[in-house]
C-alpha cells in the first residue's frame, strides 16, 4: 500500500517540479520517466515561468505541493548558513493555505476520548477559531466554567505526510548522490531532522508532555503563565488546555491599555527565553510573535509547544565554554570546544576556521553588537561552521533560530534593547556555579569514581587478555626488563586506589547532615580526608625519593 501511495505522490511531485522548471536540478530525463510523454510536453515549463528567478519558482512549487513541502521550506528559511539570501527571502514568505475541514465534534470526541461531549463541556464551538495545516483549534468551556481550547488533528493528515516523506527521501538520496552542492549541505541529514520535528509536531501526546515539563520548570516564576492541560480530555489526536486571554506580544498599540511599557515587555520576554536556554536547557523552538502572548496582568505566555529545543547538561556547559572563550578571543580553546560539541568535525580545515573566527571577532571590535544583533552574529558563526563541514546538534540550530526571533521581537518593541546586558546576570550565575565548592567537589568525586571503576575493571580485562594468549589468539614476543620497577609501579597504583577510595568515601560522608561536625564537615569525613592527605603526601615523597 505504501508503494502505491509513494508512486502516486511521486507523479504529482514530478508534475509540479516540471511545471515550475525545477527539473534541471535532477538532470535531463530524471523526472520525465515518471510521466507519460504527452503529459510531459503539456507540463513543460513556459518561457514566462523560466524567466522568473529560481527562488520564486521554488516557493511557488512548494506552495502547490502542500503541507509537508511548505513546512520543509519554512524550516529551510531559517538556514541562512546553508542557502543563498534570495532563496531564504522567498522561503520566508511561505504560509499554510488550508481550508476549514468540517468535523463532527460529538463523534470525534467519542472516538478519541470515549466520552459524551455534553457531559464534559458546557460550550463547544463547532467553527474553529484557528485552522492550520495539521490541526484546527476550537474554543469552549468546561462544566465548571473554565474557558478552554481544543486542538484537534486533521483527519488523514498523517497518511498524506507519510507519502510525502517517502518521496522526499528518494529526492534527497538522488540530490546528494549526484550533486556536490547538496552533498556538502548534507541533504539527508537535514531531511532526517525535519522528519523528526514533523513527527513530534504530529503527536499531541508529545506536545502535552512538553507543556507539562515547561510548567514544572517555571512553577516558581510568577512572571510567566503556562496553560493548564486537562489530561483526561487529551489523546494523541486531541489536546485540551486552558484558554489564554492575551494579545500578541508585539502589538505595541495595545500595550498602553495594559499600562505596560514596550521596553519592560521586551526585557521580560528576552529574560524568560534566556532562562529557558541557560537554566533549563528546554526552550521554545519557534518563538515568533504569534506564539508569545501578553496577559493584562503583565505575565507572558508561550503557546504552541509542539516543537521544543533541548540542550543536554554537557552541551550547555560546552556552550558556556564557547561563549567564555569567544569573549576572551581564545580561538584555540574555541576550536577545542567545537570539537567536543560537533557531531561531525573530521573534514574541518582548522587553519581556515580559525581565520574566519578571528574575522568575526575583528568585526565585533569595529562595530557595536547592538548594530549587528546577537541573532545575526550567531548566524555568522553557524555559517562559518557549515562552510567548514562542521555538523552541530540540532538543538543548537534551533537555539540560533529562537534567539534571532526573540531578539527581533525585542528590537521591534524597543530598538535600543541591549541583549548583552540582559544576559550578564545569567553569565554571572554561570561563573558562580562553575566555581562553587559543591561543583568542584562533585566534579572531582566524579573523576575519582571513574578512575576507581576503571581500576576495578582492569583485573577482568587482564584476565580476558591472558585467556586470549592462552588460546593462542594473541602472540607476544617481548623481552621484559625492569620487573622490579613494574612491581613498584603496581604497588603505588594499589596505594593510590586506597587514597581515592578514602577521598570518595569522605566526600560522601561530608554530605551527611546528621553526623557531628568538625571544621564544618562531619568528623568521619574530616578524619578520612586527613588520612587520605597523609597517604597522598607519603606517596609523593616516596616517588621523589
What number is the average pLDDT over the span 173-179?
Answer: 85
The pLDDT of residue 226 is above 90? yes
The pLDDT of residue 142 is above 50? yes
Is 11 contained in some domain? no
Is 69 contained in some domain? no
Out of 155-164, 182-191, 368-377, pick the least confident.
368-377
Is 120 contained in some domain? yes
417 and 273 share a domain?
yes
What number is the average pLDDT over the span 501-517?
Answer: 63
345 and 470 share a domain?
no
Q: In angstroms, what is the C-alpha Rg of the chain?
A: 30
What number is the average pLDDT over the span 181-189?
Answer: 82
Is 398 contained in some domain? yes
384 and 268 share a domain?
yes
Is 239 contained in some domain? yes
Highest mean pLDDT among 206-210, 391-395, 428-432, 516-520: 206-210
What number is the average pLDDT over the span 84-104?
Answer: 85
Is 313 contained in some domain? yes
Q: What pLDDT is attached to residue 17? A: 87
How far is it between the farthest Cα atoms of the chain? 93
pLDDT tier at 125, thresholds 50, 70, 90: very high
The Cβ of residue 138 has, within 10 Å, a number of other Cβ atoms equal to 22
The pLDDT of residue 156 is above 60? yes
Q: What pLDDT is attached to residue 477? A: 55
**In whole angstroms, what is the distance from residue 261 CA to residue 414 CA?**
9
Contact 109, 78 (CB under 8 A): no
Helix runs in 328-373, H state only: 331-341, 350-366, 369-372
What number is the average pLDDT over the span 34-39?
Answer: 48
169 and 223 share a domain?
yes
Out of 54-58, 271-275, 322-326, 338-342, pick the least confident.
322-326
Q: What pLDDT is attached to residue 313? A: 87
Distance, C-alpha 307 to centroid of its chain: 9
320 and 341 share a domain?
yes
| Of residues 236, 241, 177, 428, the one with CA closest to residue 323 | 428
431 and 501 share a domain?
no
pLDDT tier at 29, thresholds 50, 70, 90: very low
320 and 346 share a domain?
yes
More confident residue, 291 or 522: 291
199 and 296 share a domain?
no
Please tell me the pTM assigned to this model: 0.74
SS in 3 state form for 25-81? HHCCCCCHHHCCHHHHHHHCCCHHHHHCCHHHHHHHHHHHHCHHHHHHHHHHCCCCC
Q: How many domains does the chain have?
A: 4
The pLDDT of residue 481 is above 80? no
Q: What pLDDT is attached to residue 509? A: 58
The pLDDT of residue 538 is above 80? no
What number is the average pLDDT over the span 401-411?
Answer: 88
Contact 127, 152 (CB under 8 A): no
Is 414 contained in some domain? yes
Is 467 contained in some domain? yes
The pLDDT of residue 326 is above 60? yes
What number is the average pLDDT over the span 131-150?
Answer: 94
| Of residues 373, 152, 125, 154, the one with CA closest to residue 270 | 373
Out of 135-144, 196-205, 522-531, pick the least confident.
522-531
What number is the average pLDDT over the span 202-217?
Answer: 96
| Of residues 407, 450, 387, the one with CA closest to residue 277 | 407
The pLDDT of residue 496 is above 80? no
Residue 447: give the domain boundaries: 437-477
Q: Which of 208, 243, 278 is the last residue of a domain?
A: 243
* Residue position matching grid coordinates 464551538: 125
Average pLDDT score over the chain: 80
Q: What pLDDT is attached to residue 284? A: 95
Q: Which of 182, 211, 243 is the last residue of a domain?
A: 243
What number is the average pLDDT over the span 294-312?
Answer: 92
325 and 453 share a domain?
no
pLDDT tier at 498, thresholds 50, 70, 90: low
442 and 428 share a domain?
no
More confident residue, 219 or 522: 219
The pLDDT of residue 537 is above 60? yes
Q: What pLDDT is attached to residue 39? A: 45
What number is the average pLDDT over the span 328-341?
Answer: 87
What number is the average pLDDT over the span 206-214?
Answer: 96
The pLDDT of residue 406 is above 70? yes
Q: What pLDDT is attached to residue 543? A: 60
Q: What pLDDT is attached to residue 349? A: 79
154 and 291 share a domain?
no
Q: What pLDDT is attached to residue 11? A: 85
Q: How far is CA 188 from CA 42, 61, 393, 509, in A?
A: 32, 20, 15, 51
What number is the average pLDDT over the span 319-338?
Answer: 84
What number is the average pLDDT over the span 406-411?
Answer: 89
213 and 341 share a domain?
no
Torsion of CA 172, 158, 10, 394, to 10 degrees: -10
Q: What pLDDT is attached to residue 257? A: 78
Q: What pLDDT is attached to residue 104? A: 92
Out of 35-44, 77-86, 440-449, pick the least confident.
35-44
Q: Which of 193, 209, 243 is the last residue of a domain?
A: 243
pLDDT tier at 28, thresholds 50, 70, 90: very low
The pLDDT of residue 32 is above 60? no
The pLDDT of residue 527 is above 50? yes
| Of residues 199, 208, 203, the one with CA closest to residue 232 | 208
Q: What pLDDT is attached to residue 128? A: 93
| % of the chain beyond a pLDDT of 70 | 72
Amino acid at each position: 500500500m505504501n508503494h502505491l501511495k509513494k508512486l502516486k505522490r511521486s507523479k504529482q511531485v514530478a508534475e509540479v517540479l516540471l511545471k515550475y522548471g525545477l527539473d534541471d536540478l535532477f538532470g535531463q530525463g530524471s523526472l520525465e520517466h515518471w510521466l507519460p510523454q504527452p503529459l510531459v510536453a503539456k507540463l513543460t515549463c513556459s518561457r514566462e515561468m523560466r524567466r522568473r528567478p529560481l527562488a520564486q519558482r521554488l516557493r511557488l512549487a512548494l506552495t502547490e505541493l502542500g503541507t509537508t513541502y511548505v513546512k520543509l521550506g519554512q524550516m529551510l528559511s531559517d538556514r541562512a548558513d546553508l542557502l543563498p539570501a534570495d532563496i531564504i527571502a522567498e522561503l520566508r514568505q511561505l504560509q499554510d493555505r488550508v481550508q476549514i475541514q468540517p468535523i463532527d465534534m460529538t463523534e470525534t470526541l467519542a472516538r478519541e476520548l470515549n466520552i459524551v461531549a455534553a457531559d464534559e463541556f458546557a460550550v463547544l464551538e463547532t467553527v474553529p477559531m484557528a485552522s492550520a495545516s495539521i490541526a484546527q483549534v476550537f474554543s469552549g468551556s468546561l462544566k465548571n466554567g473554565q474557558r478552554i481550547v481544543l486542538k484537534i488533528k486533521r483527519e488523514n493528515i498523517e497518511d498524506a505526510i507519510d507519502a510525502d516523506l517517502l518521496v522526499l527521501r528518494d529526492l534527497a538520496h538522488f540530490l546528494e548522490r549526484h550533486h556536490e552542492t547538496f552533498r556538502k549541505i548534507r541533504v539527508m541529514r537535514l531531511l532526517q531532522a525535519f522528519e523528526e520535528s514533523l513527527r513530534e509536531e504530529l503527536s499531541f501526546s508529545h506536545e502535552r508532555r512538553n507543556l507539562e515539563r515547561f510548567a514544572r520548570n517555571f512553577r516558581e516564576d510568577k512572571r510567566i503563565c503556562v496553560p493548564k492541560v486537562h489530561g483526561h480530555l487529551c489523546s494523541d489526536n486531541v489536546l485540551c488546555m486552558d484558554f489564554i486571554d492575551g494579545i500578541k506580544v508585539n502589538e505595541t498599540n495595545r500595550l498602553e491599555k495594559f499600562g505596560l511599557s514596550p521596553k519592560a515587555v521586551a526585557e521580560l520576554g528576552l529574560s524568560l527565553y534566556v532562562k529557558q536556554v541557560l537554566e533549563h536547557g528546554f526552550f521554545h523552538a519557534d518563538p515568533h510573535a504569534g506564539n508569545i502572548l501578553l496577559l493584562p496582568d503583565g505575565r507572558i505566555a508561550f503557546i504552541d509547544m509542539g516543537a521544543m529545543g533541548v540542550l543536554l547538561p554537557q552541551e550547555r556547559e560546552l556552550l558556556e565554554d564557547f561563549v567564555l572563550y569567544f569573549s576572551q578571543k581564545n580561538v584555540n580553546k574555541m576550536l577545542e570546544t567545537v570539537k567536543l560539541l560537533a557531531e561531525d568535525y573530521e573534514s574541518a580545515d582548522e587553519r581556515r576556521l580559525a581565520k574566519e573566527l578571528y574575522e568575526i571577532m575583528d568585526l565585533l571590535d569595529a562595530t557595536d553588537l547592538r548594530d549587528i544583533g546577537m541573532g545575526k552574529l550567531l548566524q555568522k558563526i553557524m555559517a562559518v561552521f557549515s562552510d567548514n563541514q562542521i555538523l552541530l546538534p540540532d538543538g543548537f540550530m534551533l537555539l540560533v533560530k529562537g534567539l534571532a526571533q526573540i531578539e527581533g521581537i525585542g528590537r521591534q518593541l524597543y530598538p535600543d534593547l541591549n541583549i548583552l546586558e540582559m544576559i550578564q546576570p545569567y553569565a554571572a550565575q554561570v561563573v558562580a556555579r562553575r566555581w562553587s565548592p559543591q561543583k568542584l567537589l562533585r566534579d572531582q568525586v566524579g573523576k575519582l569514581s571513574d578512575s576507581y571503576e576503571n581500576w576495578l575493571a582492569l583485573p577482568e580485562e587482564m584476565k580476558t587478555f591472558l585467556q586470549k594468549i592462552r588460546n593462542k589468539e594473541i602472540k607476544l614476543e617481548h623481552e621484559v626488563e625492569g620487573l622490579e620497577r613494574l612491581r613498584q609501579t603496581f604497588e603505588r597504583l594499589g596505594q593510590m586506589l586506597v587514597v581515592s577510595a578514602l577521598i570518595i568515601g569522605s566526600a560522601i560522608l561530608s554530605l551527611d547532615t546528621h553526623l557531628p561536625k568538625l571544621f564544618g564537615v562531619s568528623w568521619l569525613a574530616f578524619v578520612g580526608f586527613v588520612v587520605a592527605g597523609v597517604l597522598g603526601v607519603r606517596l609523593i615523597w616516596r616517588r621523589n625519593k
